[in-house]
Structure 1
Amino acid sequence: MSDRQPRWTQTWLGGVRAAGVDFGYPGRRLGLPEEGSGSVSGFGRRLAAIVVDWLLCTVGIARGLLHADPRDQGWIGLAVFAAEYVLLVGTLGMTLGMRLFGIRVAAIEGGGRPAFLPVLIRTFLLCLAVPALIWDRDRRGLHDRAAGTVVVKI
């Protein structure tokens, strides 16, 4: 057996770029810049922001301020988390965790703060977790696609 892989495994293992398909940078189809302010945020910043928001809502508010029973803390924390997202993303376009990591939620149309209904849709799907784990080539989860939003760098 040779060290050289058959062509079909090179394509499969290397992804679409190895097959000669170049989709460009994330956000190109949306008219966003490749780097800097307004470019699509990476997975690391988004994950860090949501961890900060989750800890703030579950430990800080649900347990600390509301004195939630540890058995109910998950559901109360999720409710506080959803309320934080609707309130802050709906008014400021970002949560506290997002602000800390320099990202915000933007509407695809116009690039400004998303309207209230898309924020509700995005928050509901984000609380289900699974839609946020399925991404497209523009780093938009199903919750972003359904709401017509994208997370960009500040």
Structure 2
Amino acid sequence: MSDIDERRAAQSRWRTGWVDVNDIGTVRLASPGTRLVARILDGGVVCTLWFIARDVVGMYVVDSRTSAAGRLFVGLAILLFFLVGYEVMQTALWGRTLGKRIVDIRVVNLSTGGHPGWGRSLIRWAVPLVPVAALARLLPPPVVLAAFVGAVLCPLSLVWDRKNQGWHDKAAGTVVVRTGNLFVEV
């Protein structure tokens, strides 16, 4: 093998911006910057819905005699409902959330090219959160810190992956692709 062939082989293993997806062919990957913009937009939507619901539900569920822990529990339960309802449901049914629609990207099942479905969407959502939630009170602080760092690195891991897959994408067998040319890559 010549030096040129070795360089081409090395480049083909690195980031090309394209990936083969069964049943739909070669598709363009969403860039990390575009995915970040979608995540920020989705975070704004979820926070807005949570603030509204927390205040509306809080008026009926929590009264002045309820402890601070009770109010915190109600607020976190509402937030969890919105996170699962917003992220998992939309990804399972349509492959995209409102933020992903705006930046024109979607999540696809790597093996079929279709929508991820409920199981894969739940895995994608849960992988970054489960380590921190499971370890929060059970293990010593250094282990909890390591779990937190892992949860932060999970979405960042797509930056150095050849297919722009974060650990959550790899666990679920999904990839995020561009669906059109309306949005300029960030």
1:134 shift after superposition = 1.2
Report the CA distance between 1:46 and its aligned residue.
0.5
Q: What percentage of aligned pairs have identical amino acids?
A: 28
- Could you tell me which residue of structure 2 aligns to residue 66 of structure 1? 54
- CA distance in 1: counterparts of 2:104 and 2:21, whole angstroms: 20
What's 1:41 paired with?
30
Corresponding residue for residue 84 of structure 2: 82
Q: CA separation in 2, counterparts of 1:74 and 1:100?
A: 27
> Aligned letter for 1:27?
W
Cross-structure match for 1:144: 169
Contact 2:21-2:112 within 8 A present in 1 as well: no
State the Cα distance separating 1:76 from its structure 2 match. Answer: 4.6
TM-score normalized by the length of structure 1:
0.72
- The corresponding residue for 1:5 is none
* Residues 1:129 and 1:95: Cα distance change in structure 2 (over 3 Å): farther
Give CA deviations for 1:65-93 in whole Å, capped at 9, x if unaligned.
33288x95677545522321111011111
Structure 1 residue runs of 5 or longer lacking an equivalent are 1-18
The residue number in structure 1 matching 2:155 is 132
Partner residue of 1:15?
A: none
TM-score for the superposition, normalised by structure 2: 0.60
Match of 1:123 in 2: 125
Flag the 1:83–1:29 CA change in 2: closer, same or farther, 3 A: same
| CA–CA distance in structure 2, aligned partners of residues 112 and 66 of structure 1 | 35
1:129: Cα distance to partner?
Answer: 4.1
SS at match of 1:110: coil
Greater gyration radius: 2
Paired with 1:126 and 1:54, the residues of 2 have a C-alpha distance of 15
- Structure 1 vs Structure 2 CA RMSD: 2.6
Contact 1:27/1:40 (8 A) holds in 2? yes
Structure 2 CA distance for partners of 1:75 and 1:46, relative to 1, 3 Å: farther
Aligned to 1:110: 112
Query: How many residues of Structure 1 are paired with residues of Structure 2 in the alignment?
Result: 130
1:43 CA drift (Å) = 0.9
Q: Going by fraction, where is helix more abundant, 1 or 2?
A: 2
Judge which range, 105-114 or 72-81, deviates more. Answer: 72-81
